[in-house]
């Protein structure tokens, strides 16, 4: 059975009024008498009339909806960021449409095209691990679609961006490992071209340099799918553990890689590798239950979602072209743990 919504025409026919009169009454128009307004509103409530959002969007040329593109909702960082996005969006009268790229460039293109076809008022984007060409997003931006990037950003589009202080977070985590007595510190990270990868690698290098520890290229292992594929992480960790000078600690660059690194370590000799210390970017509370325990770099994910949405809504609702853009950098927090042996 096909669903048929009640329209203004239906109300007008039932009450013997013109559609324009009913429309004005529902919009609380000043030219409608109080008696007519009362009759229309009481009847509309009786039949549970709901305005047609599609018709309204066509009239207003706005859908009151925001499209969101992230790699994976199950990722703790992104689930918290989405909560922040929804907090601001819904309180501002906007709906949120969430899509996942699963770190796939092809899927990201499909999601962008789908959201654009749904006439969203703007996009919040965190790029996939495979994305190096952003022409699919740039075309929409050039046509005037408001877009804000968060977490994984690009310098190829001039717009607002919201990121964590990745360099400082990486520096703090690496320095903590150094101060804990470790000198051979490896780095497990995501795709090399991502903005977060570059910034966290720089922080790692700066901490090593400050303490006079030479940077070793073989100590850096890239996981091009950002932690989505366990075999990729297992291979990367295996390469580190078969080096002539094995690492005594690992700095891990993101949420999925942190948990994946622990799983990979458990596949090796626990007695031999139980003393490897781990520090990494993760917003998961579950890692506190793991061994070895993880010293975590927490990002203000909820706040990042809030700030990005506030920026996007300002772009959407601006009456004039916006020519000045801001990159907001939010502080991270180091939560230190004492490493324990694998059990």
Give per-residue pLDDT as tens, 247-264: 999 999 998 888 888 888
Q: What is residue 274's predicted lDDT score, i.e. its pLDDT?
A: 66
Q: What is residue 220's predicted lDDT score, i.e. its pLDDT?
A: 97
**Pair 183, 217: CB distance under 8 Å:** no
Q: What is residue 260's predicted lDDT score, i.e. its pLDDT?
A: 84
Name the average pLDDT for the chain: 88
Q: What is residue 338's predicted lDDT score, i.e. its pLDDT?
A: 55
pLDDT digits (tens, 9 = 90+) for 146-183: 999 999 999 999 999 999 999 999 999 999 999 999 99
**Once rounded to an integer, what is the mean pLDDT over residues 95-114?**
96
Confidence tier at 323 by pLDDT (50, 70, 90): confident
- Domains and their CATH numbers in the chain: 8-51 (1.10.260), 63-164+301-331 (3.40.50.2300), 166-298 (3.40.50.2300)
Q: Which has the minimum average pLDDT: 3-17, 172-186, 297-311? A: 3-17
pLDDT digits (tens, 9 = 90+) for 242-301: 999 999 999 999 988 888 888 888 877 666 556 788 999 988 876 666 666 788 999 999
**CA–CA gap between residue 317 and residue 326 (Å, rounded):** 17
pLDDT digits (tens, 9 = 90+) for 20-74: 887 777 776 667 788 888 888 888 888 777 665 545 544 455 679 999 999 999 8
Q: Is the pLDDT of residue 210 over 80?
A: yes
Q: What is residue 159's predicted lDDT score, i.e. its pLDDT?
A: 97
Q: What is residue 66's predicted lDDT score, i.e. its pLDDT?
A: 97
Q: Is the pLDDT of residue 217 over 90?
A: yes
**CA–CA gap between residue 271 and residue 216 (Å, rounded):** 26
**CA–CA gap between residue 183 and residue 335 (Å, rounded):** 20
Q: What is residue 29's predicted lDDT score, i.e. its pLDDT?
A: 63
């Amino acid at each position: 059975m096909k669903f048929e919504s009640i329209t203004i025409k239906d109300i007008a026919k039932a009450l013997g009024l013109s559609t324009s009169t009913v429309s004005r009454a529902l919009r609380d128009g000043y030219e409608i008498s109080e008696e007519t307004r009362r009759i229309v509103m009481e009847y509309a409530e009786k039949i549970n009339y709901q305005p047609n959002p599609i018709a309204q969007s066509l009239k207003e040329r706005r859908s009151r909806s925001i499209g969101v593109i992230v790699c994976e909702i199950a990722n703790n960082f992104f689930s918290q960021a989405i909560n922040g996005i929804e907090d601001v969006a819904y309180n501002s009268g906007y709906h949120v449409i969430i899509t996942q790229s699963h770190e796939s460039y092809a899927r990201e293109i499909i999601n962008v095209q789908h959201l654009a076809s749904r006439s969203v008022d703007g996009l919040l984007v965190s790029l996939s691990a495979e994305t190096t060409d952003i022409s699919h997003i740039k075309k929409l931006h050039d046509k005037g679609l408001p877009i804000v990037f968060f977490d994984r950003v690009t310098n190829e589009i001039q717009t607002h961006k919201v990121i964590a202080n990745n360099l400082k977070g990486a520096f703090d985590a690496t320095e903590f490992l150094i101060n804990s007595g470790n000198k051979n510190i490896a780095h497990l990270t995501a795709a090399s071209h991502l903005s977060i990868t570059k910034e966290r690698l720089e922080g790692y290098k700066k901490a090593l340099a400050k303490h006079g520890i030479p940077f070793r290229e073989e100590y850096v292992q890239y996981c091009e799918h950002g932690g989505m594929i366990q075999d990729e992480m297992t291979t990367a960790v295996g390469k580190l553990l078969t080096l002539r000078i094995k690492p005594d600690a690992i700095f891990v660059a993101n949420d999925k890689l942190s948990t994946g690194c622990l799983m990979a370590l458990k596949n090796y000799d626990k007695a031999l590798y139980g003393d490897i210390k781990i520090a990494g970017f993760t917003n998961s509370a579950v890692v506190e239950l793991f061994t070895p325990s993880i010293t975590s770099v927490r990002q203000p994910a909820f706040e990042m979602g809030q700030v990005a949405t506030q920026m996007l809504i300002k772009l959407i609702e601006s009456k004039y072209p916006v020519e000045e853009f801001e990159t907001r950098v939010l502080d991270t927090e180091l939560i230190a743990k004492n490493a324990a042996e694998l059990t």
